[in-house]
Chain A
Amino acid sequence: MNDVLGHLLTAGTLAVILMKVAPILLAAIGGAFTQQGNILNIGLEGMMLIGAFAAISVGSLAGNAFVGVLAAVVAAVLLAALYALATLYFKADFIVVGIGINLFAAGLTVFLLQVVYGNAGVTPPSATINLPGIPLGPIADIPVIGPAITNQTALVWLAFLCVPLYSFVLYRTKFGVHLRAVGEDEGAAAAAGIGIRKMKFSSVLISGALCGLAGAQLAMATLGSFTAGMTSGRGFIAVAALTFGLAKPVRTMIASLIFGAADAIADQLGLAGVNSNLALMTPYIITILALVLAGFRLRGAWAKRTTTRRTAEEAQPA
C-alpha cells in the first residue's frame, strides 16, 4: 500500500491525471453550456467519438495536427447540429436523440474505418498523427508541478482555460445571461424577447465544438490512432461531472478532476495487485457517490427555485 502511495505522489501521476482530465473537462464544459439552457446533453459521448475519428483520419491525411483538431471540431459540430435540429425543430425527445447520436457515432465510425481503412477495429499505422506537447523550458524544473505540466498538449491547456472562459461567458456576457434566463424560465425569457430556440441551438453547437476538441485530445494526445469505441464512456463521465458540478464552471472542473484522479488511482491500485474488479470500480463508485451528493444538492436547488416561482405566482394579481 505504501508502494502505491509512493507512486501516486509523483509528478508523473499528476501529468497523467491532467491528461485524463482534459477530454472529460472539455466535454463537461460543453455539456454545461447546454445544461444552462436546460438541455441534458447525453450525446457528448457520440460527438466526442466522431471528433476523435475526424481528428485522426483528416489530420493524418493532411499531415497536420492542427487540421486534425479543426476537422474534429467541424465533425462534432455537424453532429451537434443534427442533435439540435431533431430536438429543437422536430421536437424529438432530448434523451432519446442523445442516445441516437451516441449509437449513430459508434456505428458511423466503425463503418468509415471499414470503408476507408479496410479494418473495422483500428486505423492503420500509416494513418498516425500526434498533437505535439508544449515544452516549458526552465519552468519544467519547478519541482512536482513543472514536470507535470511540461510537454502537455495545447488542448490540455485549452481545457483548463475553458473554465474561466466559460465563467466569463456565462456571467459577464449578454449571451450567457440570456442562456441562463432560457434555462431558468423559458416563458419569462420569451416574454423578455429572447430567441429561445436560437439560444438553445447555439449552446448545443458550442457543446459540439468542445466535444470535438475533447475527441481530438483523446485520439491525438498519446495514441495518434483511432480505435473503435475509444471514448469508452468518457462522455457519460462528463455528463456526471457537469451534473455534479451543477453546470457551474469551477465545480464542474473539480468534478472532472476527481474523476480523472480516481481513474489514475484505479490504474495504480490494479497494478499494485488489488482485485482488478474492485480497482476498476473505483472511478464509478466515486461517480455514483458524487451523483447522489449532487442529487441532494439539486433537489435543494429545485425546491428553492419552485418556492420562489410559486411565491412570484402568488404575488401576481389575478
Chain B
Amino acid sequence: MKLKAQAGFAALAAASLLLTACGGSSGAAQSAASDGSKRLSVANVIPGALGDQGFFDDAAGGIKKIESAGSKTQNIQSDASNPAQWKTNLESVSTGKWDVVVTGTSQMHDILDQTAQKYSKQHFVTYDDVVKEPNVASIVYKQNEGSYLAGVLAALATTNKDKFPKATGSKVVGIVGGMDIPVINDFVVGFKKGVETVDPSIQVKVSYVGDFKDSNKGFDQAKLMYSQGADVVFQVAGGAGIGVLKAAAAAGRYAIGVDSNQNAIQPGFVLASMLKHVGDSLNSAVSEAAAGKLKYGETTSYGLANKGVGLEFANNGSSVPQDIQAKIDSFAQQVIDGKVQVPSATS
C-alpha cells in the first residue's frame, strides 16, 4: 500500500516537472527590440486573482504596458487563500527562463525571501514590500505623501464652499481608517499634515472601523463625522470604506476614495481617489532593469516626486475645479522640492 502511494507520488512529481518544463520553454525567448536594446521577459506572480480593481489589476496594467513595448510577459493568477500555490507558482518561473520575476504585497514576503535565496541567479522585483536579498529590487509607495494631497484637497474643499457646493465651510474634515496599525496611520499622519499645511485651524476627526470589511460600521462612523460637521471624509478602510462613500452620499457631503478609482461609486460625492501607481512603477522598474540601472538588493520609494502616488480625478463628475487642481499640484510641488516634509508612521 505504502509502496503504491510512493510510486503514485513519484509519477505525479514527474508529471508536474514535465509540465513546468513545458511552461518554461514557451517563455524562454528573449526577443530583441528594433532599437537594439534588450527587451526583458517578465513574469508576474499574483498572490490572488485579477479583478480586485486595486493593486493586482494595477500591476497587471503595468505588465500590459511592458508587453506592448515589446517584452514577453505573463500574469500568473492563483487562489487568494492558498500560499502554497503562490510558492509553487513563484518557483516555477524562477528557474532562469524569465529575465525578471515580479510579485508583490507583504503576503508574499516570506515566500519571496526563501525563493530568492534558493534561486540566487534569478532577478526579482517586489512591490509594496521590502525583501532584503541581493537579487530582489523592492518598490515601496509613500502613502503618506499621497494622503498629504488628500488632506490638501479636503482642506481646500471645506475652506472653499463657493467652489464645492456640498461643503458647509465648517472647517471640519475626517479620516476613517481600517485598523489602528502603522500602515494605516501612515495615511492618517500624511492626511493631517496636508490639512494643516492649508489651514492649521481645520479640525481633523479620526476613527477606526476595527477591520477592513464592516461596511455598516464604516457608514456609521462616517455618518457620525458628517453629523458633527465634517465636510470631507477620506476613507482608508478597504471594503468597510464602501460604507464611508455611501455615508457621504447620504449626508450630501464629500468623500475621498483610496486604492482604486472609486470616484464613480457615489457619483458627485467622491472628490478623488488616492492611488498608488503600481503599474507605472513596475513599468519604470523594468525599463531601468533593461538599461541595467535597476539596483537589486535595494529599495526604491515611489512618492510624489516619481509619480508613484497621487490623486485620481477621473469620473468624479468635475467636482474639483481646475484652479483647485492646480493649487493641489502646487502643494505637491512643495513636497517634491523638499520644502514640506511629510511625516510618516512607518520608517
Contacts and interface: CB of A to CB of B under 8 A. Distances in A.
Contacts of B246: 222-225
B242 A223 contact: yes
Contact of A271 (B80, B216, B219, B225): B225
A88 interface: no
Contacts of A225: 215, 242, 246
A223 B216 contact: yes
20 contacts: A7-B228, A12-B227, A122-B242, A222-B219, A222-B243, A223-B216, A223-B219, A225-B215, A227-B213, A227-B215, A227-B242, A230-B213, A232-B216, A232-B217, A267-B221, A267-B224, A270-B208, A270-B221, A271-B221, A280-B208
Interface of B: 49, 51-54, 80, 180, 205-208, 210-211, 213-217, 219-221, 223-225, 227-228, 238-240, 242-243, 246-247, 250, 264-267
Interface string A93-131: 000000000000000000000100011111001000000
Interface string A211-241: 0000000100011110111101000000000
A268 interface: yes
Contacts of B267: 125
A229 B81 CA distance: 15
Contact of B228 (A218, A264, A271): A271
A227 B240 contact: yes
A81 interface: no
Contacts of A273: 206
Contacts of A230: 213-216, 239
A270 B219 contact: no
Interface of A: 7, 12, 16, 20, 114, 118-122, 125, 218, 222-225, 227-230, 232, 263-264, 267-268, 270-271, 273, 276-277, 280
Contact of B52 (A121, A125, A222): A121
A271 B207 contact: yes
Given A268-B224, A271-B221, A125 B216 contact: no
A114 B239 contact: no
A214 to B, nearest CB: 12
B207 A276 contact: yes
Contacts of A263: 217
A271 B224 contact: yes
Contact of B208 (A121, A229, A276): A276
A264 B223 CA distance: 12
Contact of B216 (A118, A218, A268, A280): A218
A159 B219 CA distance: 21
B53 to A, nearest CB: 6
A5 B167 CA distance: 27
A20 B267 CA distance: 27
A40 B249 CA distance: 40
Nearest to A268: B224
Contacts of B217: 232, 263, 267
Contacts of B243: 222-223, 227
A121 B265 contact: no
